[in-house]
Copies of this chain bind each other. A is one copy, B any other.
Amino acid sequence: MENYRTKCIALLKDRGVTLDDITDCARFLQAEYHIDLKNEDLLESLMSVLDKREVQFAIMTAIELDREAERGQMIDKDLEALLRRDEGLYGVDEVNAYGICNLYGSIALTNFGFIDKRKYGIIDKLNKEGKDGKICNTFLDDVVGAIAASAASRFAHKWGK
């Protein structure tokens, strides 16, 4: 089967998320543990996370749903309304994100919970952008948080070896 990593990086960029934005979040999550974090190490971790098939499919599905909601042609109008107002109790967006974190173990899950509530960097930007009624980032902010949390967790495990 095709590897969709390049496609996913382009999809993310098209939605306003660069690789630098994500390594920035990963750095924030690991900053307390390692003083001398090199950008190239974090980027290597991030690229490895993005190379996983399950991660690519989670990204593609997340961005499709956000764009469908934006376009306003969803079949289920209740669902469309839930996505457009980023309903806090919806939860499927976080379930999709956990599908990524789970692959990187328990540190990735706690990292995700932290950055999801603390809203750092691009996560905060995506979240605020989604409040204007036009742009829908309901799934995207969680997926980006999960990728950053996973890259940071992978880094912590490698460092621990």
B7 touches A89 (CB 8 A): no
B63 touches A89 (CB 8 A): no
A76 touches B98 (CB 8 A): no
**0 or 1 for each of A63-90: is its CB under 8 Å from B? (1 = yes):** 1110110010111101100100001111
A92 touches B61 (CB 8 A): yes
A127 within 8 A of B: no
A68 vs B69: C-alpha distance in the bound complex, in angstroms? 12
B95 touches A91 (CB 8 A): no
B4 touches A78 (CB 8 A): yes
- Interface set, chain A 97-154, CB cutoff 8 A to B: 98-99, 102-107, 109-114, 116-118
Provide the residues of chain B in CB contact with A71, threshold 8 Å: 75
Chain B nearest CB, measured from A56 CB (Å): 10
A92 vs B54: C-alpha distance in the bound complex, in angstroms? 8
Among the listed B96, B98, B157, B161, which residue makes an inter-chain contact with A109, where contact means beta carbons less than 8 Å apart?
Answer: B98
Given A68-B74, A92-B99, list of 13 further CB < 8 A pairs?
A: A11-B76, A57-B90, A58-B92, A58-B95, A61-B92, A68-B68, A71-B75, A89-B160, A91-B107, A95-B98, A109-B109, A112-B113, A114-B116
